[in-house]
Amino acid sequence: MIITESLVRSGADVFIGYPITPSNLFYSYGQKRFPSFYAAADEISVLQWMSGFSTTGKLPVTATAFPGLALMVESLNMAFMMELPMVLVIVQRMGPSTGSATTGAQGDLALLNGIISGGFNIPVFCPSNFEDGWELAHKCVKTAVEFRTPVVLLTSKEMVMTNKSFDLSLLSEITRVDRSTKAYSGEYKPYLMTEDLVPPFVPVGDKTRQVRINSSTHDMMGAIKKANPESLGNTIRLRDKFEKRIDELVEYAIDTEDGADQLIVSWGISVDAARDAVIEYRKKGKKVALLTVKTLLPVAQEIIEIMESYKELIFVEENISGQLKEIIFGKRNYKNIKQVNKIGSMIAPDEILKELA
Amino acid sequence: MEQSQAILTGTPMPFCPGCGHAPSVISISKALIELGYAPNDVVMVSDIGCAGLVDPLFNTHTIHGLHGRAAGIAFGVTHGLNDPSKKVMVILGDGGATIGLQHILESARRNANMTLLVLNNLIYGMTGGQVSGLSTNEFKDDRHITDQTPPFDVVRLAHEAGAAYSARVTSHKNFVEIIRTAFTTPGFSLVEISSLCQPYGAAKMSELTAWTEEEEVYTNKRSELPPPLIETHSLISDKNVIVPRFEAKIGKRYGIILAGSAGGGIQAAGKLLANTGLISGLEATMKGEYPITIGTGFSVAEVILSRDAINYTGLVHPDLAIILTNDGLEKIKDKLSPDTKIIADSKLQLEGYSNVVYLEFGKIGGKKGAVFSALTYWMIKEKLIDKEALKGAAGNHKYSESLLNTMAKMEEHILAEAN
């Protein structure tokens, strides 16, 4: 409810849904709250319809779980290449495949990391509590518009289906994201190379400016061009626009104290257990820090540097391999990196305390 | 021809010499010009394959997406524009029409305001001449292809799905007129245009005529549906705010499991208990678990109440378990610990647990009220939560009257027991 409300207040105006557990609350809130709502025939249609709406200047949203995301992959690559603003809310459930529809998980980060062919990232934001949900839903819309890109809000079953008392006064005011076309000089080019690496957006159907939107390798005009310097430059820009402006994307929270050598690193639903573990551990007079990563992708150097400033890292993730750990440090095991991993139910504070001690 | 420069860029045709797609493109542009469309009034969405090479030819807005999905993206474009003065058209081949058939049928069913132009050359040209779902048996016979599955008739399929206008045109002299009629039909229209393919398909018009289905035209009477624009209201308002007005004796985290069967009011009771915590000045969480099917099997609600903010919402070992049926017991028994206080219906037997109170909650409260009578019992006996707070929370419930009756019965029962 909080995420849906924040998305709409930020300017998201079309919800396109295909029902899948455990994302159905978004579908029903989307139907209630968005000015336009469409029920698509499958998840490929969802992404295609969203892309069509996005070319006309709308800001579409959908919500799904892994099986739906899997169907969207090719279309998501298309929307990424076309540079179309949109928001995908992914509600993680336990896999592989259809897995357990009503069991939570944090198993889709590795897929999201490699989801764009060629080593590109789409921004992935991940709330660790309701307040984050409110702030990051806004951040998703803002990023989608300002970077002309699909953006993922990565949640999980336990995050969106557990009722929790919440103080509404904690919610900041949300302003609508500005959709007006940025200033540019000369002839309008839909994929103009600009200083901020994001071309000015003009909707298709514009009276005076011709808009060409293209999913294949293209030049600045949006015309298909096989690997010439201009079109290759355009493709490389799709990585650079995030990597070089990562400071605008990075979100995290650090709870630390002087003399803490151990750093718990967590994201999403597991952060709640980590928070309790930190409280318990400190009650025993021990020192510990907690890093809550909220911008999961692209990985910011700033976040890695925080990790490297501690002697021991404990990655806490509800998946079988430690997906964030592997994205940052690879598959190699390091003596000073511990992991708390689990599937089938949420990681409990005691399980983290065991690794801390 | 000079006029058509306005719609077409004048870029040389990118097709093989003698390709049927060239006259199709010229006919499309002629139809647009005859109808007075300026380039910026038109959004041309192209598919993948030879038919998808058309973007540079058109001076209109252009969108080039994925194989088979052009009708899908165009659906979003036309609804996003919501402007009848704009023409949204899709150019795709027979391969694109079959891989993306769902998008065509869905757009026709919803009468989306757009025109699909299916350039059917009977084969996948770009990948080497493989047959498609629109390849006719006459063509396959000629190529000694043993597969004699009849092709889709995409014109009739679109018609059956609700297309306002759908037609097949094979004779060049009819191209412009049929395309123009499609363009002027409000709502969804589809034209299948038979097309030569020199390397792989029909190389001569006589072959094409022999190998393709007859020309045909279908119409459906459709009223154009405006996209639904809904006026909506904030999901978050002061109505959601609960102001504490009772006292509770719960300090640190207290976990409660309600375990019963579907139809036993367990989920409603869980929500009510969480709200009871809230009006008692506590923080609360509540989560429900039940099978995907409704009305059968177990139903479990987990509620945590705490004076402090609640982070982790899991319940490893509950402080209190209210167990009303065997379904519920089976589901949660692994969570019970020696420290768990257990309140169970007297028809159950919990072997190995000493801390159990049995009472005939089902008899006292009925099927739906058993869980409320058990909660009332717990509140009266333990006094951690004021039972008046439960009444206060129940006051807003749609079954508040029967809830209050159930609570009254339990109070009487306890009084009678005491006497």
SS3 of B231, please? Answer: coil
| Burial environment of residue A258 by CB neighbours within 10 A (0 to 12, 13 to 18, 19 or more) | exposed
SS3 of B212, please? Answer: coil
**E strand map for B126-243:** 130-131, 165-169, 188-194, 216-219
Q: What's the pLDDT tens digit per position in B387-418? A: 999 988 887 777 788 888 888 999 999 988 88
pLDDT band at A108 (very low <50, low <70, confident <90, very high): very high
- The DSSP call for residue B12 is P
- Res B205: pLDDT: 93
CB-facing half-sphere around the CA of A76: CA atoms within 13 A? 26
Contact A210 B61 (CB under 8 A): yes
Is 90 exceeded by the pLDDT of residue B296? no
At A264, phi and psi to the nearest 5? -85, 130
> Which ipTM did the prediction report?
0.97
Q: Which of A8, A37, A168, A212 to mutate to test the interface with B (most CBs of B within 10 A)?
A: A212
First-to-last alpha carbon distance for chain A, in angstroms, is 38
What would the CATH number be for the domain defined by A2-170? 3.40.50.970
**Integer Cα distance of A143 and A355 in angstroms:** 36
Q: How far is CA A149 from the centre of its chain?
A: 11
Q: What's the pLDDT tens digit per position in B107-124? A: 999 999 999 999 999 999
- Res B241: pLDDT: 84
Angle between helices A43-55 and A66-82 (to 10 degrees): 30
Is 70 exceeded by the pLDDT of residue B239? yes
- Res B353: pLDDT: 86
Least confident span in A145-159, B104-118, B169-183, B222-236? B222-236
Q: How far is CA B138 from the centre of its chain?
A: 41
The answer to whether B75 contacts chain A (CB < 8 Å) is yes
Q: Which residues of B214-235 are buried (b: 16+ CB within 10 A; e: fewer)?
A: eeeebebebeeeebeeeeeeeb
Tell me what the mean pLDDT of segment A112-134 comes to: 97
Contact A52 B227 (CB under 8 A): no
Fold topology of A252-356: Rossmann fold (3.40.50)
Contacts of B236 in chain A (CB under 8 A): 1-2, 5, 168, 171
SS3 of B126, please? Answer: coil
Using DSSP bridges, classify how beta strands A289-293 and A252-255 pair: parallel, antiparallel or unpaired.
antiparallel
**Integer Cα distance of B95 and B49 in angstroms:** 8
At B357, phi and psi to the nearest 5? -110, 125
**Integer Cα distance of A14 and B80 in angstroms:** 9
**Integer Cα distance of B324 and B342 in angstroms:** 11
Other Cβ atoms closer than 10 A to A252: 17
- Res B293: pLDDT: 80
Which structure tokens are listed for B131? 């047959």
First-to-last alpha carbon distance for chain B, in angstroms, is 105
Contact A162 B285 (CB under 8 A): yes
Query: What is the SS3 assignment for chain A?
Result: CHHHHHHHHHCCCEEEECCCCCCHHHHHHHHHHCCEEEECCCHHHHHHHHHHHHHCCCCEEEEECHHHHHHHHHHHHHHHHHCCCEEEEEEEEECCCCCEEEEECCCCHHHHHCCECCCECCCEECCCCHHHHHHHHHHHHHHHHHCCCEEEEEEEHHHHHCEECCCHHHCCCCCCCCCCCCCCCCCCCCCCCCCCCCCCCCCCCCCCCCCEEECCCECCCCCECCCCHHHHHHHHHHHHHHHCCHHHHCCEEEECCCCCCEEEEECCCHHHHHHHHHHHHHHCCCCCEEEEECEEECCCHHHHHHHHCCCEEEEEECCCCCHHHHHHHCCCCCCCEEEEECCCCCCCHHHHHHHHC
Contact B79 A52 (CB under 8 A): yes
**Integer Cα distance of B288 and B158 in angstroms:** 45
Q: Searching chain A, which residue's CA lies closest to the CA of residue B304? A: A164
SS3 of B261, please? Answer: strand
The answer to whether B337 contacts chain A (CB < 8 Å) is no
Which structure tokens are listed for A127? 């709330």
- Res A227: pLDDT: 84
Contact B64 A213 (CB under 8 A): yes
- Is residue A203 reached through a cis peptide bond, with omega within 30 degrees of 0 on the bond before it? no
Q: What's the pLDDT tens digit per position in B1-35? A: 344 448 999 999 999 999 999 999 999 999 999 99
**E strand map for B195-282:** 216-219, 254-261
| Burial environment of residue B366 by CB neighbours within 10 A (0 to 12, 13 to 18, 19 or more) | middle
Contact call for residues A12 and A89 (beta carbons, < 8 A):
no
The answer to whether B232 contacts chain A (CB < 8 Å) is yes
**Integer Cα distance of B289 and A334 in angstroms:** 39
**What type of residue sits at position A200?**
P
Q: Searching chain B, which residue's CA lies closest to the CA of residue A51? A: B73
Strand partners, A151: A87
Domain B243-418 has CATH 1.10.3720.10: no
**Integer Cα distance of A28 and A22 in angstroms:** 12
Q: Searching chain A, which residue's CA lies closest to the CA of residue B105? A: A41
Which among A165, A209, A214 has the least Cβ separation from residue B64? A214
- Res B202: pLDDT: 95
Conformational region of residue B215, where left means phi above 0, alpha means psi within -120 to 50, and beta covers everything else: beta
Q: What's the pLDDT tens digit per position in B297-317? A: 999 999 999 999 999 999 999
Is 60 exceeded by the pLDDT of residue B365? yes
Least confident span in A189-198, B18-27, B67-76, B359-368? B359-368
- Range list for CATH 3.40.50.970 in chain A: 2-170
Tell me what the mean pLDDT of segment B350-366 comes to: 91
Q: What's the pLDDT tens digit per position in A49-98? A: 999 999 999 999 999 999 999 999 999 999 999 999 999 999 999 999 99
| Residue for token pair 């910026």 | B40
How far away is chain B from the Cα of A118, in angstroms, using its nearest Cα? 17
SS3 of B88, please? Answer: strand
Q: Searching chain B, which residue's CA lies closest to the CA of residue A5? A: B235
**Integer Cα distance of B377 and B374 in angstroms:** 5
SS3 of B215, please? Answer: coil
- Res B227: pLDDT: 62
**What type of residue sits at position B135?**
S
Q: What share of chain B is helix, strand, coil (3-state, %, to 5)?
A: 40, 20, 40
**Integer Cα distance of B419 and B417 in angstroms:** 5
- Res B31: pLDDT: 98
Ordered DSSP codes for B269-329: HHHHHHHHHHHTT-EEEEEEE--SSSSSSEEEEEEEEESSPP-----SS-SEEEE-SHHHH
Which among B63, B83, B235 has the least Cβ separation from residue A33? B235
Residues in chain A: 357
Q: What's the pLDDT tens digit per position in B139-154? A: 999 999 998 999 999 9
Which structure tokens are listed for A171? 């919610």
Q: Which residues contact A113 (CB under 8 A, 6 or more apart)?
A: A121, A297, A323, A327
Domain B3-219 has CATH 3.40.50.970: yes
- The DSSP call for residue B41 is G
- Res B4: pLDDT: 43
Contacts of B232 in chain A (CB under 8 A): 8, 32-35
Is 90 exceeded by the pLDDT of residue B362? yes
Is 60 exceeded by the pLDDT of residue B95? yes
- How much of chain B exceeds pLDDT 90, in percent? 83
Contact B40 A162 (CB under 8 A): no
Query: Which of B29, B43, B52 is CA-nearest to residue B100?
Result: B52
Residues in chain B: 419
Other Cβ atoms closer than 10 A to B383: 11
Q: Searching chain B, which residue's CA lies closest to the CA of residue A45? A: B72
Which among A34, A207, A348 has the least Cβ separation from residue B312? A348
Give me the residue spans of the domains in chain B.
3-219, 243-418
Contact A58 B80 (CB under 8 A): yes
Contact A48 B69 (CB under 8 A): yes
- Range list for CATH 3.40.50.920 in chain A: 252-356
Q: How far, CA to CA in Å, does B243 sit from each of A16, B124, B210, B234?
A: 36, 67, 80, 20
Tell me what the mean pLDDT of segment A148-166 comes to: 96
Query: Which of A156, A43, A153, A159 is CA-nearest to residue A93?
Result: A156
- How much of chain A exceeds pLDDT 90, in percent? 98
pLDDT band at B224 (very low <50, low <70, confident <90, very high): low
